[in-house]
Amino acid sequence: MIAIVIYLVLMNIAAFMLMGNDKALARQGKRRVSERRLMTYAAIGGSVGAYLGMRAYRHKTKHAKFYVGLPVLVIVHVVVLVALFRWLLFG
């Protein structure tokens, strides 16, 4: 169970930092992080970090894929985690 928590913390930190990095690259006019990579990090466990990064950096806020997709992923991940932890703790 601790491995799951560590994994999720690391994925959320990575997703948050990736959003910030992409925003910085956008401001500098340099090659950007792909939307596919941003959404992949969110989908594999970093949805909260990606959402917080979107809000903190005001990045990708006009793309429906992000302003709708990230909150939906957060909800899905929370539901799955609650179910998983209930199953692990209570059988």
Mean predicted confidence (pLDDT) in 1-12: 94
Domain tally, the chain = 1
With beta carbons less than 8 A apart as the criterion, state whether 56 and 20 touch.
yes
DSSP-assigned letter for residue 31 = P
Categorise residue 58: left if φ over 0, alpha if ψ from -120 to 50, beta otherwise: left
DSSP-assigned letter for residue 60 = S
Q: What's this model's pTM, rounded to 2 decimal places?
A: 0.92
Q: What is the mean pLDDT of the chain?
A: 96
Written as six digits, the tokens of 79 are 């539901």
* Consecutive H or E run containing 75: helix 69-90
- Residue 91, pLDDT > 90, answer no
Determine the structural domain holding residue 24 and report its residue range.
2-90
pLDDT of 1 = 82
**pLDDT tens figures, 32-62:** 999 999 999 999 999 999 999 999 999 999 9
